[in-house]
Amino acid sequence: MISNRLSRWTLLFFACALGNFLAAEGLALAGSTWPLRPVSAPGTLIAVHLLAVGWLLLLVLGALFQFVPVITSRPLVSQRLSLATLAAVQTGLLAMVGGFLGITGEAPALAPALPVGGAVVLLGALIACVNVGAPLLRARPLPLPGRMVLSGLAFLLLTVSLGLSFALALAVPAAAPRLAPLVAGIGGHALAGLGGWFTLTAMGVSYKLLPMFMLAPEERGMLGHCVHLAGAAGFALAVAAGIARIWLPAAALELAQMAGYSAVALAAGLYLWDVARIYRTRKRAMIEIHNRAAIGAFAFLGLAVLLAAGSLAMGRLAAEAPIVVFLTLFGWLSGLGLSQLYKVVPFLTWLSRYGNSLGRGKVPRVQDLVKEVRGYSWLVAYFLGVLLAAVSALFRSPGAFRPCLALAALATLGLSLEYWRGWRASYVRACAPVSAVPPFSHEQRG
């Protein structure tokens, strides 16, 4: 049955991820984070990890648990491992939140919770890598999106391992004195996560979803291979050279780091060019709203790369790094995630609720599960809020930051409600088929 091929827990991953996203936005609106507080403030650290671990990590893993079996035609190792991943990542994140309060002096007794939480998140990442890595490694031949996901998984393990090392160095310095110098490599930790893990994986997934929903050619040719190789090699070189410079401040390592950054910029430019080619060569005349809105996310990727390159050329990368991270987290990665969820949630809901009822009654279309005018309005409001917030931070106007971000947070809440209505099929109750199967039913779990 169609529903038996669905990932049982993907929609639950999405729900938890959105909850963490809204919590992070709430912290920012309360004035507890950058730019109203220092980057090292507990609120900033908590919000960043709510975004990176609680929102994006759960979002991407939930998507991969559905996506990988599609591109490999092989099942996951176990649906139960998916649930174990969710439990480990969410539990570890909550412990890390307490730990950040501990290492910053807010609640010193909670400091040991930081490495404990980091270890639990690492366990969740390892379980996820086994669950999706096995079908990827067994697939022959593995298409480009699958190879990019494999590269991303390697960076995921590197990112979480580095994070656990930082946590040990900060929370229990006496027990891990040799790890103390690693704290200076926090930039490599961020680059491995936002770049090597999230960006490479997002690129790989988009290489499948964009052509699939726009009826464009899926084969990316040499351009797609160049994006993958330049991106993976560039992120690896930049992270490795940056970490090595902690102990060996050699000019050669600085040159290697610059070469890595250049390769990353090249990969981003080629990717954006290739995405434009997908839009131009599509066979679907009308672009659906989730892919129209995704253009905003691609624009933010270009803005983040341009700002990073310009700041690096002027020797101001350290000063502008928080804005680059903001553009990457909120504009590129979160924007792409929110826009694609507007298609993925109703699509999975349609398969689980109506897929087994084809030919046995009146079945609505996927687009009938949502109100596209509402969704597109919220997506536009989200991107506008993020852009205005970024501009206010760039021009050192922290007082204007919160009202601008409030627009993005309101849009996030509005979109979350639309996803909920789509999952509940609230807009199509009048035409529900007789044999409809509700999501997460016993039949789906079989």
pTM of the model: 0.93
Give the tens place of pLDDT for each residue, 72-126.
989 999 999 999 999 999 999 999 999 999 988 888 889 999 999 999 999 999 9
Please give the pLDDT value at position 360: 64
Cα 77 from Cα 81, distance rounded (Å): 8
Please give the pLDDT value at position 153: 97
pLDDT of 441 higher than 50: no
pLDDT confidence band for 1 (50 / 70 / 90): very low
pLDDT of 226 higher than 90: yes
Can you give the three-state secondary structure of 324-378, one letter per residue? HHHHHHHHHHHHHHHHHHHHHHHHHHHHHHHHHHCCCCCCCCHHHHCCHHHHHHH
Please give the pLDDT value at position 2: 42
Q: In terms of pLDDT, which residue wins out, 416 or 358? A: 416
Q: In terms of pLDDT, which residue wins out, 248 or 411? A: 411
Helix axes 398-424 and 10-29, enclosed angle (nearest 10): 160
Strands (E), 70-176: none
Residue with token string 């991820």: 17
pLDDT of 159 higher than 70: yes
Average pLDDT, the chain: 90
Residue with token string 């939930």: 62
